[in-house]
């Protein structure tokens, strides 16, 4: 429950009225790795408004929870119109037969109270068919403006209890918002909740910006900008928007930056005289270290979660393939061996998989493979899919999909690591280059 | 742009559906002539004047094209670049930025690196022909600035290019 001690919000166990701790191997359980075919039916009646001021949040919070859970493809909401009983008091006994009758296997109830600049959200999760609570009740308190985050936290807790996996709903995505014709694209950085809500722009569109990436704590963003007229890497503090150039090496281009897990080292590509190699820079000392030294293109580096290795792409074999090397450099080992070209590798936060973009026979794919190159699986196929980013729990990938031709706009999609549940993320403008934050604190 | 205080974020969330004001993201935008490098190419001059920028662009030819995923100069490209070199040595007061570009058939980072290779290949050739290295810089746009927007080889072949962009004041 560490992740719930957060939001700048107090998290408390909500009272002793809750049933005893529930066995984790109880019947209400989704095993994600089994490849779920039939989504688990659940009900989330409108949260109870404890006072007048809470009314505007109570229904909205339950809608966001329902959207989070349904959006995974693992759950199916039973709509309110089918409910037999309503929940009018958070502490009233649950009318299990009424929820059983409509086949709601999971029930989420909650309440909201509001006073001044503070709202308190309580919730409980019930396993309807065994007639008991699943885990303890929880409560979150925070400012009214954080009501969405509180809803995401409730959904994360429900998801975690039912799947046994960490949640990912209380997270953000930094991306490139695009406008204008394809041959004169304006680009700017935006950040939004993982579901597309709460958009905030981080830059204007006066310079081309590319491929933003969060720091491990989510507080900073790395990106490539043409602000100087030449591509260089920058780091921005998301709170203050203060931005600093990290890549000012005269006569070079710097691009494809990504943080190491320590949040201090940045790995990136530096091009000089037409040749791109991989370097690291210490963001505190400015110390630059060259990790590869080859006449081929070495780019798109990504650290393993333990910081010991780097996966990257290189065309040293004649076309783009994936390689792994030690975090200090040295001889890399080739990872990809199938037909076609492989690029933009990203190490899963769980450490078990590497996601990538694959081009083969005129199509683009998002795929995953194990860290020894085995068990390659392609999850998507289209005219142009590229640039996967992992959800904080390593179960979902987001990426850019662009249509063909003058009218072909880029947009953000997500897909389960199983290959199921392909969904488009709603954005105000055409969008590309998503990067997922860690779970927020 | 200022950081939005927390209180404003709520408004932003609730107003999301209504936030389709194009002015919010339509401002500014990079772009320019030739390869879109944001280079100010004002004063093109008369294309009939062999010392004009317009003459360089239209008669000498300011760009060379590349085969798929290649940065090697074709015989045709070498011919154009040899003429560029001659012109540049005659008109020594122009600075040069060589833009490398790729078509959309590739990932973003790789295309940036590929565009840099192309720009560098052109620069190396111009140096070999006698153009002073210190007059030139390269920049890669990867697949960010196509000139043709169809998704067919007819367009791709024109997007896989290196453009020699002139600006005044070489300091040469």
Nearest to A356 by CA among A341, A372, A334, A339: A341
Looking at residue B10, its pLDDT comes to 31
Helix (H, G, I), strand (E, B) or coil at B79: helix
- The pLDDT of residue A249: 85
Encode pLDDT of B100-130 as tens digits.
999 999 999 999 999 999 999 999 999 999 9
Per the model's pLDDT, the better-predicted residue between B37 and A336 turns out to be: A336
Nearest residue on chain B to A149, alpha-carbon basis: B10
Dump pLDDT digits (tens) for B77-90.
999 999 999 999 99
Phi-psi label, residue B150: left if phi above 0, alpha if psi -120 to 50, beta otherwise:
beta
pLDDT of B69 strictly over 70: yes
Strand ordering across the sheet containing B161-168: B63-65, B161-168, B94-101, B136-142
CB contact under 8 A, A145 and B7: yes
Running along chain A, 441 residues long, what does each successive block of 10 average in pLDDT? 32 31 50 70 97 92 98 96 94 96 97 94 96 94 95 98 96 97 94 97 97 97 96 97 91 96 98 98 96 98 98 97 97 94 98 97 96 96 98 97 93 96 96 97 84
Q: Which residue in chain A is spatially nearest to B69 when comparing CA positions?
A: A319
Question: Which residues does chain A have within 8 Å of residue B151's beta carbon, measured at their own beta carbons?
Answer: 383, 404-405, 408
Looking at residue A36, its pLDDT comes to: 55
From A132's Cα to the closest Cα of chain B, the distance in A is: 36
CB A234 within 8 A of CB A225: yes
- The confidence score (pLDDT) of residue A2 equals 36
Q: Which of A107, A99, A139, A123 shows the shortest CA–CA distance to A28? A: A107
Enumerate the β-bridge partners of residue A348: none
Q: Between chains, do A255 and B106 touch, taking CB under 8 Å as contact?
A: no
pLDDT at res. A248: 79
Tokens of A126: 């019930």
Encoded tokens for A196? 């597309």
Nearest to A429 among B25, B106, B119 (CB): B25
> How do A396-402 and A209-214 pair as beta strands?
unpaired
CA atoms within 13 A on the CB side of A257: 33
Interface probe for B, chosen from A60, A152, A183 (most Cβ of B below 10 Å), is: A183
How confident is the model at residue A158, as a pLDDT? 97
Whether A329 and A292 have beta carbons less than 8 Å apart is answered as yes
A361: left (phi over 0), alpha (psi -120 to 50) or beta: left
Interface confidence, given as ipTM, is: 0.90
């Amino acid at each position: 429950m560490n992740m719930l001690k957060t939001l700048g919000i107090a998290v408390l166990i909500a009272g002793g009225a809750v049933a005893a701790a529930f066995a984790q191997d109880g019947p209400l359980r989704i095993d994600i790795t089994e490849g779920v075919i039939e989504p688990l039916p659940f009900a989330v009646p409108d949260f109870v408004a404890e006072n007048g001021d809470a009314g505007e949040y109570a229904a909205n919070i339950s809608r966001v929870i329902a959207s989070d859970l349904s959006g995974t493809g693992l759950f199916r909401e039973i709509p309110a119109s089918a409910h037999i009983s309503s929940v009018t008091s958070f502490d009233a006994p649950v009318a299990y037969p009424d929820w059983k009758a409509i086949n709601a296997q999971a029930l989420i109830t909650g309440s909201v109270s509001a006073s001044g600049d503070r709202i308190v959200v309580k919730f409980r999760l019930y396993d309807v068919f065994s007639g008991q609570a699943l885990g303890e009740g929880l409560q979150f308190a925070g400012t009214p403006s954080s009501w969405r985050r509180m809803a995401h936290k409730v959904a994360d807790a429900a998801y975690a209890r039912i799947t046994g996996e960490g949640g990912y709903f209380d997270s953000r995505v930094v991306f490139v918002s695009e406008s204008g014709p394809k041959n004169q694209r304006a680009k700017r950085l935006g950040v939004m909740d993982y579901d597309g809500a709460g958009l905030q722009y981080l830059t204007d569109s006066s310079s081309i910006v590319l491929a933003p990436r969060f720091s491990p704590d989510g507080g900073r963003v790395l990106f490539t900008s043409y602000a100087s007229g030449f591509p260089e890497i920058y780091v921005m503090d998301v709170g203050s928007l203060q931005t600093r150039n990290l890549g000012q090496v005269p006569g070079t281009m710097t691009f494809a930056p990504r943080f190491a897990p320590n949040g201090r080292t940045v790995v990136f590509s530096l091009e000089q005289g037409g040749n791109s190699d991989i370097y690291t820079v210490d963001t505190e000392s400015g110390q630059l270290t060259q990790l590869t030294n080859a006449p081929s293109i070495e780019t798109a580096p990504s650290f393993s979660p333990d910081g010991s290795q780097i996966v990257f792409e290189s065309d040293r074999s004649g076309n783009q393939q994936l390689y792994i090397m030690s975090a200090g450099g040295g001889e890399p080992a080739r990872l990809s061996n199938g037909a076609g070209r492989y690029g933009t590798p990203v190490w899963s936060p769980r450490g078990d998989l590497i996601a990538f973009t694959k081009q083969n026979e005129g199509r683009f794919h998002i795929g995953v493979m194990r860290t020894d190159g085995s068990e390659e699986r392609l999850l998507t196929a289209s005219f142009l899919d590229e640039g996967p980013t992992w959800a904080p729990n390593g179960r979902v990938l987001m990426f850019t999909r662009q249509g063909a031709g003058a009218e072909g706009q880029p947009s953000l999609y997500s897909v389960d690591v199983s290959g199921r549940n392909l969904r488009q993320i709603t954005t105000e403008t055409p969008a590309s280059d998503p990067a997922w934050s860690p779970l927020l604190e | 742009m200022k950081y939005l205080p927390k209180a404003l974020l709520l408004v932003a969330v609730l107003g999301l559906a209504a936030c389709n004001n194009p002015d919010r993201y339509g401002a500014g935008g990079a772009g320019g002539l030739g390869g879109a490098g944001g280079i100010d190419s004002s004063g093109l001059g008369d294309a009939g004047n062999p010392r004009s920028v317009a003459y360089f662009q239209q008669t000498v030819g300011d760009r060379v094209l590349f085969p798929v995923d290649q940065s090697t100069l074709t015989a045709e490209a070498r011919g154009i670049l040899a003429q560029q070199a001659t012109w540049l040595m005659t008109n020594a007061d122009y600075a040069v930025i060589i833009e490398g570009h790729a078509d959309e058939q590739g990932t973003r980072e790789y295309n940036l690196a590929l565009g840099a290779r192309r720009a560098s290949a052109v620069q190396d050739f111009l140096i070999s022909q006698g153009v002073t290295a210190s007059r030139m810089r390269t920049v890669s746009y990867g697949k960010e600035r196509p000139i043709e927007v169809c998704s067919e080889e007819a367009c791709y072949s024109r997007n896989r290019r290196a453009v020699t962009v002139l600006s005044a004041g070489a300091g040469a």
